[in-house]
Amino acid sequence: MKRGGVSKNERVVKFLEALRNAALRRENRPEKLSVEEFALLPLRELVLFPNTMVPLFITYEAGISAVKEALRRDNRLFAACVRSRESGETWPTGTVVRIIQHLRLPDNTFRVVLQGEYRGTISTVVSGGNYTIVRVEPLKTAGLLDFQDPEDIALTRTVQKSFAQYAELSKKIGTDTLTAVEKTDNPERIANLISNSIALKAEKKVALLEVPKIRQRLEKILETLETENQIFGIQKTISGKVKNRMDKTQREYILHEQLREINKELGKDAAEDEFADLEKAITEKNPGEEVLLKARKELTRLRRLQPFTPEAGVLRTYLEWIADLPWSDYSVDAGADSGDVAAAERILNEDHFNMKKAKERVLEFIAVRQLSVNTARETVPATEGMVSAEETAPAEGPEKMAIRGPILCFVGPPGTGKTSLGKSVARALGRRFVRISLGGVRDEAEIRGHRKTYVGALPGKIIQSMRKAGTVNPVFLLDEIDKLSSDFRGDPASALLEVLDPEQNSTFTDHYLEVPYDLSKVLFITTANSLYSIPYPLLDRMEIIEIPGYGENEKLAIAKQFLVPKELRENSLGAAKIVFRDETIRAIIRHWTMESGVRGLEREIARCVRRIAREAVNREYGKNPKKPIQSFKKNVSPEDLEKLLGRWKYKKDVVFSEARIGVCYGLAWTETGGAMLPVETTRFNGSGEYIITGNLGNVMKESARIALSYLRSVQDRYCFLVKDMGNTDFHIHVPEGAIPKDGPSAGVTLAASLLSSLCQKPPRSGVAMTGELTLTGRILPIGGLKEKLLAAVRNGMDKVLLPKDNRDDWEELDRDIREAISVEFVETAHEAFRILFDQGIERKEKKRKTTAAKKPAKKIR
């Protein structure tokens, strides 16, 4: 009778065979086991051995299915290492393992503990799918199982001793494993325990697993152990050599030193390759002979030093700086600055409005370069046959025939475009542009660098910027040169003397480099708001180009051409149809800005544009597909400004609409442009003292003394209401007392204010004046004429009294400024007083004396 297709006799036979196999496994005699079928458990980078127990997490599908199948059978699997991850193919040799413990986790994975039973080889693959059933044939072993001779015993003990040495060197073998290997006499068990414990790649462990004969297997294990022990010994020797040469502070370099020793053992030296590359990089830069000699000398010293000593690091950094600096590399477009003057003029006009003097000086420089290069080419002798362009070109580059780079200094109020003009010059010349801000620099080493013996030493800003430029002929902008400071660390202005001297900067020496560096090809441009704080020796080395403030018409043109399009573009309204009327821009200039430049004007226009952008978004423009930003229109009128910008920022508060006794208006120049300088004077009975307030400087106080002394000397000419000036006190005040004021140009203003107080006559309204007064009444010329006149125009003055010697400066001003205000040129204070006051201020007796003096002249006739 059959049950399920299998007879009773067959079931008995299989049961007896299973009992026999179990007994053989307990005796560890796999050569007598029969062929069995198991579910295949593929393992990645893991090889299991008999007589070992291993915990595993089974998370992949094939493994989970194999474990489930094994649990349905007799808890046994065939574990084999995967040979190729792409194909999933396993090595044919593996280990039959039993599941001792298993735990099914919530994510349907398994945690199992496997115990190796015996080695086997896949003979046939029975079926496939989510898991694979394989037929496994036990790996037959021979020798050292039943009988052992002295040679076999010696081999076993040698393996045990070598493994003990490996455990001592590697520090990764557990005490239990080491004890088990030492106490067992079974060679097969020894081989399995050792093969499972040593750190080898999967393919090498498979090679130890598939050796059939136990003697050969032990010999192979012994060879592997001896190789690993030898590697550990070499590493220990290298570590010993390194530690003997290094102190405690250098232990972090041990790994690098080990690598160096290993390279020496292999016959390689990476340091020599590094030195050769460094020397090649320096040579390719084509520096001068002196620089090459210095670099080779330092490179020879570096070769003799240990790589990670502090001095070696200093020398390596120094040589890298030498290799990174441009010594003979010119701009890619170096020919541009020796060619098209018209193109350069077009670029300058595109970027900046007006600035005639600065633009003319740059164009002159380009024109001279063009002549110098063309002259050099014409002097090249003709040769027979065809001559290439390289042969006719100057041997040392176009810069060698060019003039030395000039030192230009752009001086003007803030916001007039001095820094951006430097960028435009670089673009017009086709050169690289670098900028250094000198504001607040107070250490000489910032310019000349530190000696390389200092910790963390670096070259100065000049050499650092040259490396950044990458060429020997950049446009170099030294911004805010008038803001340099000095302290106990030195004077940076003095360090700049060599940099900004065309006769010396060809051999500029940085303290860090210690070799001369040629700066004569550089076009230096400096900017400043004032020349008074620049030391004269430094100022003498620069060509001063004044960039004065802008008039109303100039600001209007700049706003229309540059500022409004720029702000519309930057605020995403470039495609919208937004128009700023001329009267709108003029209103912003008059009532929301009070400056010589256009920086404040740009901010106010940006505020308007941002408010308009907000209005466009509120009306769904740019958000609604039916309302693209291109369809948004806005015509900004003066009436819209109060809504966009708020109330007026600036009013003519310092100027009275009506004439007042003792109040006159002078004109002052400041670093931020021109300004009105109201002067108020009052008198009262006293002891002949005079009081001066308003935060005035020493020069201005002296001007007040001179004005008072002059008026005392001519008191007979004017109708003073004060009979005894010795008993009269005067108080002179200049408003806005929180602002320091100084300078001699307020002399005539102070005298006019005192005269008005003495005569109790108000001066004419709407008249401003400027000029230095002498004790004899002469009016000397002044500077900053354009800024002062712009201040008068901004404050609504009708007429300005100017020194007669400033007539030439007046003629050079732009037409719109000359048409905006009328001027009177005066040579003496008496002429100024006649224009400022009516004729009633002069004494009649003086006129009669003058008439009487003229009568004898008629009699002589």
Instruction: Give CA–CA dist 620/614, Å, rounded.
Output: 10
134 touches 34 (CB < 8 A): no
Active site residue 745: yes
Closest by Cα among 168, 169, 224, 216 to 194: 224
Q: How far is CA 312 from CA 92, 319, 324, 358, 515, in A?
A: 57, 11, 18, 49, 20
7 an active-site residue?
A: no
Give 478's Cβ-side CA count (13 Å radius).
Answer: 27
Mutual angle of helices 187-197 and 175-183, in 10-degree steps = 160
Element (H, E) at 433: strand 433-437
Q: Residue 633 CA to chain centroid, in angstroms? A: 40
741/704 Cα distance (integer angstroms): 13
Helix (H) or strand (E) holding 207: helix 202-209
CB 735 within 8 A of CB 678: yes
What's at 474, amino acid-wise? P
Tokens encoding 645: 């910008």
In the block, which residue shows the tokens 């232990």?
Answer: 251
The residue count of the chain comes to 861
Distance CA 207, CA 92 (A): 11
Amino acid identity at 757: S
Beta strands in 572-636, from DSSP E residues, in sequence order: 577-580, 633-636
Give the separation between CA 595 and CA 578, rounded to whole angstroms.
26
Instruction: Name the β-bridge partners of 90.
Output: 82
Could you tell me where the DSSP H helices lie in 246-340? Answer: 254-265, 270-284, 289-304, 310-324
Judge contact between 193 and 209, C-beta under 8 A: no
Task: Sort strands 799-803 and 767-769 into parallel, antiparallel or unpaired.
Answer: parallel
Judge contact between 535 and 486, C-beta under 8 A.
Answer: no
Catalytic one of 745, 753, 756, 757: 745
As a whole number of angstroms, the distance between CA 375 and CA 521 comes to 19
**Contact present, 840 and 755 (Cβ < 8 Å):** no
Q: Which residues are marked as active site?
A: 745, 788
